[in-house]
Structures are given as structure tokens and as C-alpha cells.
Structure 1
Amino acid sequence: MNNQETQAEIVRKSLKRRYRKERRFRAYGIVAIAIALAALVVLFTDIISKGHTAFIKTTITMEVNIDGEMMYLDDATDPRQMKNADFVEPLIQSLMREIPGATESDRSALRDLINPYASNQLRDALKENPDLLGTTQAMTFLSHTDVDVYVKHAGDDQYSIKLSEQQREWVDQLLERGVIETSFNDVFFSRGDSRDPSRAGILGAIVGSLLTMAVTLVLSFPIGVAAAIYLEEFAPQNKLTDFIEVNINNLAAVPSIIFGLLGLAVFINLFGMPRSVPLVGGLVLTLMTLPTIIISSRAAIKSVPPSIREAAEGMGASKMQVVLHHVLPLALPGMLTGSIIGMAQALGETAPLLLIGMVAFIVDVPDGFLDSATVLPVQVFLWAGSPELAFIERASAAIMVLLTFLISMNALAIWMRKRLERRW
């Protein structure tokens, strides 16, 4: 009896120890998840707090007297006169009318309130409609970057205010009178990069990313699916096939910068293709994405039950008909989700594109696959390395846009998997 009681006590103690270990293990898991979520919260809070103001622009609206005598311009249709005309003077005179007490000695300080490209905007408006010469028009211009920073970050010690005390007083007056206003920054989504932060946008980077991703998708998906079908359904089991499979798995773990070096050596140095174009970027990302697509496509093909193949072959279908008419349609949802995840990974890559020249300063929005372009991750890299905090603000906003694309692509992959997958 004592022996039985002793044995039972031993079992109870053993169970208690096991349950304590299980509770500790669950606690460790909960703590790990909490740390990961806290890190994500800190990351997103930092990005959003720095970048949300980039979606706001500061503008100055005023009555501009487009006086030809003031601009030394008689004929707005004469290209030579338009080239030599003074489009800055009407802006300064308009600001002097808006700010009581401003004098001719304040011209330089007044000029620094408005965007340096405002004179180009006036010139373009006059080119488009020469009849504006000699009239007074209400026009809206972007403010200077220093004014934009002051309006959005006054009192924030993180941002250095470069305006003088007098300029701050002028800005405060114009804010009270509604001459200076803030609104949604459509410039951020409608323009390419610029040396001036207030005019810098991500449209060029978005278009460059879309063109690059289009090349990647058109090349990587069919090649990856065809390779997966061959390796899984047709390739003989020999040393060569085993060697290919091992290397595909190894390529999936190769650092992305290696693919950039390969693209630089092959596509640019060997074949002489141009730098910083979506076509070359897409080719490099295709090399990087192919292993992921091949591996996920093979897994999707393996998930199709053997009974499907056996039933089709029993009905007299050939091997090709079995694969194309039965296996491929059933494996396609898994292939698509794997491809979307691979494309999302490629969208966020920077290192391989830096090596093929897509780090160049690109102002114009690309029109085709052979036009110079950049992509969103590289644009973030360029802005994040700028000493101006106004560019850091736009880098954070671009990160928010990039994360939106990545989350949307992953959500699409999850939705397609839930929607199209079949359970056997």
C-alpha cells in the first residue's frame, strides 16, 4: 500500500512539474508575442508621427498683378521675351500688398516666403494663356519649405525653424487672414522627386515600381510555374534533378544584393543594357523572385491528391492532359498566392536595384520600360539620407504608402488562398 501511495505521489509530482513547464512555455510565448506587437506599435507610431504631416501642404493665395511693364514683357507669345522676363517681381509686389508695413528693403525676406518655383508657375500660366498679361489674377502657390515647416511644426523642438522673427510675424498675420492655408498635399502624389521638399512627390517612384513589377510578373510567373511543373511532373529522378532542386532551395536564401551584382555583371556590363530603367530592374527582381515562385508552385502541385491523376489517366488522358486539365487548375490558387507573396517581397527590395543604378535622382515620371526611373524603396532610401528634416518627413510618408501596398498584396494573397483553396 505504501509502495502504491509512493508511486501515485511520484506521478502527481511529475504531472505538476509538467503542467508548470507547460504554463511557463505558454507564458514565454505570450511574452514573445507581446514584445513583437510592442515593437510593431513603436515602429508604426514613429513612422506615422513623423510622416503624417507630409500629407499636408502649405499654400499662399494672393492677387497677382501680371503687369508687362513690371516684368519687362510686351508679348507673351514671344519665346525670347518670355525667357528674359522677370516673373519674380509680381510675386514680391503681391506679398508687399498682403503684408502691411513691408517695404522695399524686405524684398529678400519676402521672396523667401514663397516657393522658389512659384515664378515658373506664373510663367507657365502665361504661356498657356497669353491673354492673362495685363490682368490681375487670384493665384495659389506653394509656400517655401521653411514656411511649411514653421506652419506644421511650430513649437516642435525636433524641427529647426529657419525663419527670422519678422518672417514668423508675417506668416502668423497671413495665417490669420487666410492668405496662407493648409490642405491635402496632392503634390505628394502627383509629382516626381525634387530638390525642394515641398515639391517632392512619389508619383515617379510609384510608376517606376509598377513598371518594374510588371516586368517581374510577366517573366517570373510563367517561368516559375513551368519550372515547377517540369520538376514535379516530368523530370526524371536522377543526380542532375537533385542538383537543380538543391540549388533552387539555396537560391531562395541568397542575399538579394547578390542578384544585384549578377544583374550588373550580366545585363549591364555584358549585354550593355541601360542603367536605372524598369526593364533591367524587372529582370533582376525576376531572378530573385523565381526560387520563391518555383518552391511555392511545387508545394501547390504536391498538394493535389494522387487520386486526381489516377482518375484522369484511367479515363485515357495523356500525361500532358492530366497536368494541364486537372493538376494545374487545382494547384493554381496556391501558385498565385505564392507568386503574390514573392512579388510583395520584390516590391520592398532596395539593395539589388541600387547596384543597377536605380538610385539616380529622377525628376520626370517614366513613360515606358526604357525610361530612367526609381522605385519606392529607393526613393525612401534617398530621402532618408537627406540632412533636411522635411525630406525625412516625406520618407516616412513614402514608407506608409509602401507598407500600404505590401499589406494589401499580402491581404490579397490570404483572401485568394481562403477563397480558392480546396480541402481534400
Structure 2
Amino acid sequence: MIEYRNLRVALLGAGSVGSQVATLMLEHSDELAARIGAGLELIGIAVRNVDAPRPDTVPRELLTTDAESLILGADIVVELMGGIEPARSYLLQALSSGADVVTGNKALLANHGPELFDAAEQVGAQLYYEAAVGGAIPIIRPLRDSLAGDRVQRILGIVNGTTNFVLDRMDSEGESLEAALAVATELGYAEADPTADVGGYDAAQKAGILASLAFHTVVPASAVHREGIEGITLDTVVQARNGGYVVKLLAIAERIVDPISGEDGVSARVYPALIPRTHPLAAVRGANNAVFVEAEAAGPLMFYGAGAGGVQTASAVLGDVVSAARRHVAGGPGVGESTHAELPALPIDAIRTRYQITLSVVDQPGVLAAIATIFSEQGVSVEAVQQGAPGGDDPTATLVIVTHEETEADLAATVRELEKSDVVTRVVSVLRVEGL
């Protein structure tokens, strides 16, 4: 028999995820109460417009525009509004009142995470955010709890379903980026303005969250290097496939050594990269997400599943609600975020990686020697060279060059020198190679 009082839950936002959270919480109330040891009472849902169309499973009598009154009467506040304001102010208000907070707001965490975590720690409250990265994939809790005794070395993540869908269509269906993006929009995977996805902004926010959590340090959004997929062409994807690679937009968080100081630091970055088709991430299809974790003791771990969708993301949110409710029943203060390491966030030039450089060059003797000289002068070692034959009367040929692992600074300097060379008519593309 449940003896603990009902726990009051305030929901901020009733979009696709918020509506599903409300529906599932009401439909499965008895089962959730049995798991928690206390009932969950949804005391209200704060929305901008109570008359907006919503599923019939969301009771209209719970809707209100008075978010602040809901917050002050809640034990647990679930924020699914999105954006920075007023979400930030509402969550600070909730935490200062002692309520636990559940959020899926990656932009808010990426830009104001330390402020929110500090506010929670001051009053012994807890901030939960499993839904902020990877949708339904459980990755936040494993990094924070299961791997807390290990030393995470690197995370490679496909954390944006829209770009993965687009790149997968380009690879499997032979579509251009524009055509694949149109399909993604038609199916509801892409927004009318896909800039946040295609430009890598969404993935960069998630990379910062993962880096902060994995390396016990604060990695602000401004420290995350970001490149999108706007420049990826069908020719690039086909060339990658012919070479045994697939193109993926990767969010990477990595513990590295600063080449200048020799001290440990953190790199957080997002860019399209080539990964071998034998790597587990290469098999992530459609709009799915996956996070590949490399830990010192545990070894390689992969978390895979739906990265978006109302009901899928609602699963992660409700998992956090249950955790928050159990903490209330058990008693005791919340556990603060671990940021003790205070590792510096290092610039992109500090990383070590491989490049695949595709060049259009003049078709004449001595070109390979001239190209080799440029690489030698920059101290960059070449792993493989593939030469394409010129077509018909075309006076140019194509060279595809894969380097050994070098610093980003040296590789970037090599590309700059290639652009100046008389034998290079155009640097067609530069992609990093990851996952080797």
C-alpha cells in the first residue's frame, strides 16, 4: 500500500513531447505509482494558448497560462517549452523553491547549464535532463552514474536525426542533399527552417553537454567547434562509399593532450566526417541516433535508438520524472553535477585526426611530385593516394589523398598550401576521417 503523499507535477509546454508526457502520465498513473511508492498528480500544464489544437488525451481543464502559480505548487517541474526564455527564469524559480526539475532543453543546458546546476545544488534539488541528448537513448544517466568510476576517453555521437536521415538517403538512394532534405521535411524529420540541424547547431549543443558530463568539467557552447553538412555533395558521398567509408555528422567529445602545454584538455566538436563502413556507427540508418563511448576500463560501448519523436522522447522524460519522484520518497538532497576536473576546452587546432583531401589537378607530368613536396614540407605523412583519370578533353584529373594522423593545425596548413599550388586547380573537398 502506498503511504507517501501524492507528488505534484507541473508540466511546462504541451507540444508533441509535452502532450505525450501528459498522456502517458495519466494513462499509466497506477503503474507509475507502484514503481515509485507514491502517486503522481499532474496539477497543471502551462501553455501559451489554451485554445490551440491538442490531442483529446490532454485534459483541457489542466491547461493554464499561469506558469508561475503551477511552479510554486509543484514538487517536480517538467520543462518542455524549448528556447532560452522564459524557460530559464521558470526553472530558476522552480529550483529556488526546492522543486526538482526535468528538462529536455538542450539549448538552455548548453548555454546556462552551470547556472542551473548551481541553483539546484544551493537548495539540495536535482536537475534531470536525459531527454536533452539522443531522444529515447539512455546516455546521460550511464555517463553520470554507470561510468562515474571509469575514465571516459572519447565519445563519437550521431545525435541529430535530421542530418543522419539526409546523409543516409544520399548514401543509400543516391539523392542530392536538397532532394533528401525535401523528403526529410515531408516526413516531418526536418523543420521548415532546417538551419539548426543542417548547420550543426543542434548537434553542437549536445556535444557540449556530453563533454561537460563525460569529463567532469564545464564546456560552454562557445567552445564547441561546429561545421554543418551544407557542403556535402552526392559526389562526396559516392566517393566515400567507393573508398569504404560513409559520411556522418559526428558530435565528438574527447580528452586530449594540449600540444603546447602538454596538459590534459577537452575537445568538443561537430563536423561531417568519414567513418569506415565496418564501424558500428556506420550502420545507424534513417533518423536514428547513436552514441559510441570509449572508456578506459569498460572499453567501447554503444547506445542506439530513436533520437527524436514525441512518444520516444517522452519515454526519457518520464524516466527522469520517476527518478525524481523516487528521490522524494527516499529523502535526501539531490546529487550535484561533477565539474571538479576543470579541464580547459581546447581549440580545434589541438586535435589529432586524419584528412581525406580531394583535389582537382592539372593533368601533366610532375603533379604527384609537386603535391608530395607540399605534404613533406608541412611534415604530413600520406597514407594512400587514389588517382582518377581525366574525362575526355578535360585538362584536369582528380586526386584523393588520405593522410596519416596529424595535428589539425598541420593538416589545415597543408590544405592552405595546396590551394596556392599552380598544379592544383581546386580543392574539391576536405573531410576528416574518424573511427579508425
Please, what TM-score do these two structures have when normalized by structure 2?
Answer: 0.23
Q: Relative to total residues, which structure has the larger strand share, 1 or 2? A: 2
Bigger Rg over Cα: 1
Q: TM-score, normalised by structure 1?
A: 0.23
**Structure of higher RCO (CA pairs closer than 8 Å, 6+ residues apart):** 1
